[in-house]
């Protein structure tokens, strides 16, 4: 498959890179419904909602091709392994088909790589055949060596994506980190960028750096700008 790039990507393809983020703590039921309706209107890849909102999102998006995703161990990754597995099973039961889990950041920084690998693997097993698993490293707290090793652990554990950030740390996706993550895993593992992608130019930049999914809240503004800027690439 030809890699996506900013020079040839179409509006439809670009929309399908976006996981529309509905994770801020202040969102009420009407906000979540409106966000899901926006996601369906723009035909993005998925919405990423809080666990409490999975059933609501699944109902609103029934009959569309927009997937329902949620978060596990969010936002700090400090839940026990058993809690993360329970969260994964409950989310799937409620209708989620994509799971964005946060690693145990403290364990990663302590060099407890076997634990981090096992934790990811246990969530992958809970989701097997039912949901994609995207693993959030939270790069803001890791060294370059830890980002590379964390990406490798994600692949060793059998997850589908390695992701930069939660959106709740001091910094988010950087181009250097995305390139490092891409270089650290095989093509079997995809890359998701999140936190700080608020403009069309930043969205296209992370696509060129290897991301095939992007967590974003400025979905409508970015896709509308793309349509206006590239009217020959709407298909």
Q: Which run of H or E residues covers position 215?
A: strand 213-216
Instruction: Summarize the confidence of residues 23-44 as an average pLDDT.
Output: 98
Distance, in Å, from the CA atom of 211 to the CA atom of 18, rounded to the nearest integer, reads: 10
144 given a catalytic annotation: no
- 234 is a domain residue: no
> pLDDT digit string (tens) for 105-135?
999 999 999 999 999 999 999 999 999 999 9
Residue 220 counted as domain residue: yes
Contacts of 146 (CB under 8 A, 6+ apart): 108, 109, 137
Among candidate residues 100, 134, 160, 190, the one labeled active-site is 100
User: What range does the domain containing 120 cover?
Assistant: 11-229
Helix, strand, coil share of the chain (percent; to 5): 45, 15, 35
Q: Is 130 a catalytic residue?
A: no
Overall number of domains in the chain: 1
pTM of the complete model: 0.97
Active site (annotated) includes residue 192: yes
Q: Is the pLDDT of residue 1 over 80?
A: no
Whole-number CA gyration radius for the chain: 17
Residue 41 lies in a domain: yes
Distance CA 12, CA 106 (A): 39
pLDDT tens-digit readout, 65-100: 999 999 999 999 999 999 999 999 999 999 999 999
Interval 26-36: pLDDT, tens: 999 999 999 99
Residue 44 is assigned to a structural domain of this protein: yes
156 CB contacts (<8 Å, ≥6 apart)? Answer: 117
Choose the catalytic residue: 16, 84, 134, 163. 163
Q: The domain spanning residue 73 has which CATH number?
A: 3.20.20.70
Cβ atoms 5, 208 nearer than 8 A: yes
Domain assignment present for 193: yes
């Amino acid at each position: 498959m030809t890699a996506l790039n900013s020079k040839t990507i179409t509006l439809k393809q670009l929309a399908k890179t976006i996981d529309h983020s509905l994770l801020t703590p202040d969102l009420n039921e009407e906000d979540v419904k409106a966000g899901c309706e926006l996601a369906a209107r723009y035909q993005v890849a998925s919405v990423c909602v809080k666990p409490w909102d999975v059933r609501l999102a699944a109902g609103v998006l029934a009959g569309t091709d927009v997937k329902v995703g949620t978060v596990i161990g969010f936002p700090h990754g400090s839940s026990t392994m058993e809690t993360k597995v329970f969260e994964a099973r409950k989310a799937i039961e409620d209708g989620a088909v994509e799971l964005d889990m946060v690693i145990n950041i403290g364990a990663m920084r302590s060099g407890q790589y076997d634990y981090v690998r096992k934790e990811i693997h246990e969530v992958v097993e809970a989701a097997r055949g039912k949901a994609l698993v995207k693993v959030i490293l939270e790069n803001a707290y890791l060294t370059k060596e830890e980002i590379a090793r964390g990406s490798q652990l994600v692949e060793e554990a059998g997850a589908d994506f390695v992701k930069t950030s939660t959106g709740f740390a001091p910094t988010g996706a950087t181009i250097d980190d995305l390139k490092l993550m891409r270089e650290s895993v095989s093509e079997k593992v995809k890359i998701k960028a999140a936190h700080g992608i608020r403009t069309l130019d930043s969205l296209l930049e992370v696509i060129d750096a290897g991301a095939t999914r992007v967590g974003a809240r400025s979905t409508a503004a970015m896709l509308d700008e793309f349509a206006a800027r590239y009217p020959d690439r709407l298909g």
